[in-house]
Structure 1
Amino acid sequence: MTLSPSAAEAATPESASAPPLRLKGIHKNFGGVVAIKHFDLEVRAGEIVALVGDNGAGKSTLVKIISGLYQPSDGEIWLNGEQVSFRDASDARTKGVEVVYQDLALVEDQPVYMNMFLGRELTKGPLGILDRKAMATQTQELVDTLDVRIPSAKATLSDLSGGQRQGVAICRATHWASSLVLMDEPTAALGVAETAKVEEVILKLRSRGAAVLIVSHNMDQVFRIADRVSVLRRGTQVGTKRLAETSHNEVVAMITGLSS
């Protein structure tokens, strides 16, 4: 998660100090239905922010807006001090926004390194032959850095456990994200032990300076790994709290609308 030399030279003092993600007044309608009402949030470098709320609160809709799948009806998205407007998810990816979903979007019968470079394969020579060695080497370096415990970058994805596959998905997002990683319920389908391993990887992202926005229904997980939590209820932002300054009961009360 470091700027390339050319990007570093182009960075202004203002953009260098700006948060990787800033949302201002995000509003989303689907016809006559209001899904998100004037949502504001910053996610800073080296910070994990959890987005929580009941089913239908608007969490996944917000992630899809940030990642370019939906366009906001109103409001502004800022990345590293620059206002952006995405045509689609591909456009968002070119600007360094990566998402890890619960369903992973990985190819079972391909090796780990091919999944890492899926759609962005490295080639060599005038004939554009796949540079499998370079892809495998870069993949192995990243999984070693994030301590994702897999047999090898050349292992077939179908031979890995659910937690290992999720670790690969997080590594892929990390590899291509400039500074922001979005996660939509990344451990919902995992058991306790594998969830713990994935959480370790997420914490390593933070230690490397990444900004992470994670949707989670697991309050214990939120309090284990997040720095702040933002609560949505029926599309409305109820509030944003530092986890060190709140409690399970208070957050649950914000989600449900019932006093703690």
Structure 2
Amino acid sequence: MLDPVVPDGALARRLAAHEASVHAWGARELRDLGDAVLLHDLTDPEPFWNRVAAPDWPAKAAAFDRRLDEIVTLFATLGRLPHVRTLALGNRPEDLATRLGDAGFRPVRADRSMILEVPGPCLALARTLAVRRDLQLEHVGHGPELRAMEVARLLVRAFDVETDRVPALGAETLAAGRRPGGAVLLLLEAGLPAAVARRLTADGGTYLSSIGTAPALQGRGHGSLVTALAVAEALAEGTRFVHLLVDAENRAAIHLYERLGFVPIGEPVLDLLMP
């Protein structure tokens, strides 16, 4: 049974910490700083994998500046760009993004945090797979390794990212499908990759990511279906909450998730980097 959704700062902080924790796998570690959490990749300098999340820093200017100096120094010792992610609700201090901007940080990404409130639409849609003879579901990591590379190529096309990311995405996909609590769902149409979704369950909650549809097959509901299937599996395993992040400018995706029973929490979550 899902926990009741109470949209407040405590929920936003819980989701941010959970999202960071599910990424702590392999060479990535999660460090509790006392007033924030640090996600750090020991081998990959990519800023997405190296960030401070859920900060709870002083409101007084002098104390805030001291703490921010310590955080910047920490990133320098790690050889990483300083990167802070804000909360959807309950930032401490409230004007965190403004203060970071004044200190030289620049926003590079804005996402909507969304959580599943009503599971019915996902469960109903997931049941329709049984009558869709043109579609098949596979779990990557439990079959041919080639499927992981097919997922990587699908994601590169779906999100228009650099093709040189394919090998890394393939390896990450395979690892995600094989790790405890992880699953990579690949929806096939007539035997060809159509849509994919990744779910990671830990500490009673499930985080969904890497949800994409092959460009040539968009508009057929495959993205909705693979998302619903991932949710249905998580619920069957007893998860207490399901959440995701989506580009704040992608209104179509936001509406898709709303139709599936997700609700947005607060304001867009900002990723701020100091160049």
TM-score over 0.5 (shorter chain) = no
Give TM-score, length-normalised by structure 1.
Answer: 0.30
Q: What's the TM-score, normalizing by structure 2?
A: 0.29
